[in-house]
Structure 1
């Protein structure tokens, strides 16, 4: 089943480099994709729904989809959130808690996080500082996993169960520490749609690029 990976939901700045342009989906294209998914009978589910289905065999809708937004940019609230509400779609936002704590104007505020959390938007961890977690000692990794989890839980009153690996980087050591830190699963940047109970800490996703309209979304889902 498709787990869609978004980043910025906004037009890129005029001086944006190729990376920023690739990560920036204009709101009108995001809305067109949501409209298409709804019209085609897709139903948004949560990562918790997926994990329960994989572990217990609980039923999912005939055409499930998971919407994820990485990094916790401010436009997740100003642009994506109103459209998700408009189309009745659930989503998961992975936040870098250090950016929120620092009141970085490009990122969400804790008030925005709390509001979205109360309206079918799951707020999950993207670490504290977005470091490369590979080849790090256990204490460093534990801090990034636990402190980010605790910060979100303190502001939302909801338990955090999912991690998005910073920049998609992880190793076996990171994976081994996740269950003890209270995580049920983690998402990667690996392309694909085949999920099973043996890869809960390596869930694959579909990257939505900045130029993707409905046609490209359909092609991407169909390819896998």
Structure 2
């Protein structure tokens, strides 16, 4: 009995040891798990360690802001509005000059160069370079007698000024040459109009002389401003004109104008039409529409008609020629006060007579004189007439 109780007691003690061991193991395991959790939390909360020497740190990329586009210059804005490959934006520079650029066409003559004004000074022209402007050098002076040439569709012209006293002191006189018909006969034509026919060989030599001697060729707006005292023109200037647009002018004379590229004016009797456009170096201006014929008293219609009739005729003539109203040539050179009033009322600023003389500051714009070229006048005769 006692043995049985001892055996039972030993079994109970063994169970208690096993149970305690089990509980102890569980506690130890739980403590271990908790310790691992604490370590993990501590690891997560620690700041990242510095990279070891030699390790590369990834660069932080900052987005580059897009720059604002560079604003277009006024000249570039002009070019942006056209697809014409011949377009040229012409800008203007110089003391006291603040002008917007103009769009011109390369290969054509300058169509609209401005003539700026400035209190107490006289404009002395546009030039290719600042040095030309300072020297007022004729070879570098640019105007409507020159063909437009640009670099990358742009160019700048430079203005020059002078005092009114210096302009007066220059004593410039502008000859307006007047030709009529042309002949291939060195001995000339016969008949009462013989004097009107210039030998085409002399005409060729005249143009060559004007070109080689680098005469300045004023436009009609420039001549008007010169007369007003607002523009300086060099004394080494000349304007070349022809009356009537005779077939001999078109066939014989115009090809030589193109050859020498000397700007001329053809005064056209527009009742016969505007005539062909053979070269940009010929400007077509009015010789009236239908007043180049005799009136009741044997003189031209322009001195027989009323002012209103004259205005109607000149308006018609201008429309045939594209609306240009810069200058008209009096038919036969005939004019009177009514003729001058009619010319002015029609919107023409100037009129050329056949009276001999030179244009100076203050000349009557509605009675411009000229230098008549007759048959047989050589280059030497031309030199004496224009210098």
TM-score (norm 2): 0.49
Residue 92 (structure 1) shift: 0.6
1:135 aligns with 2:304: yes
- Bigger RCO of structures 1 and 2 (CA < 8 A, at least 6 apart): 1
Q: How does 1:1-224 map to 2 (within 5 A)?
A: 1-11=174-184, 16-19=190-193, 21-55=194-228, 57-100=230-273, 110=275, 112=276, 114-116=277-279, 119-129=280-290, 130-131=292-293, 132=300, 133-153=302-322, 159-221=324-386
Q: Say whether the 8 Å CA contact 1:123–1:160 is kept in structure 2.
A: no
The Cα shift of 1:185 comes to 0.3
Deviant stretches of 4+, over 3 Å: 11-16
TM-fit CA distance, 1:18: 2.7
Distance 2:380 2:188 in 1: 25
**TM superposition shift of 1:86:** 1.7
Higher helix share: 1
Specify whether residues 88 and 197 from structure 1 end up closer, same or farther in structure 2 by C-alpha distance, changes over 3 A only.
same
Distance in 2 between the 1:198 and 1:65 partners? Answer: 16
Change (3 A) 1:15 1:68: closer
Counterpart CA distance in 2 for 1:38 and 1:14 is 25
* Contact 2:217 2:237 (8 Å CA) reproduced: yes
Contact 1:195 1:204 in 2 (8 A): no
Q: Following the alignment from structure 1 to structure 2, what is the Cα–Cα distance between the partners of residues 85 and 8?
A: 17
Distance 2:184 2:332 in 1: 21
Structure number with larger C-alpha Rg: 2
Return the offset for 1:150: 1.2
Single out whichever of 8-17 and 189-198 deviates more from structure 2: 8-17
Paired residue secondary structure (2:228): helix
Equivalent pairs counted in the alignment come to 205
Q: TM-score, normalised by structure 1?
A: 0.82
Does structure 1 conserve the Cα–Cα contact (< 8 Å) formed by 2:265 and 2:284?
Answer: yes
The offset of 1:178, in angstroms, is 1.6
| Structure 2: runs of 5+ lacking an equivalent | 1-173, 294-299
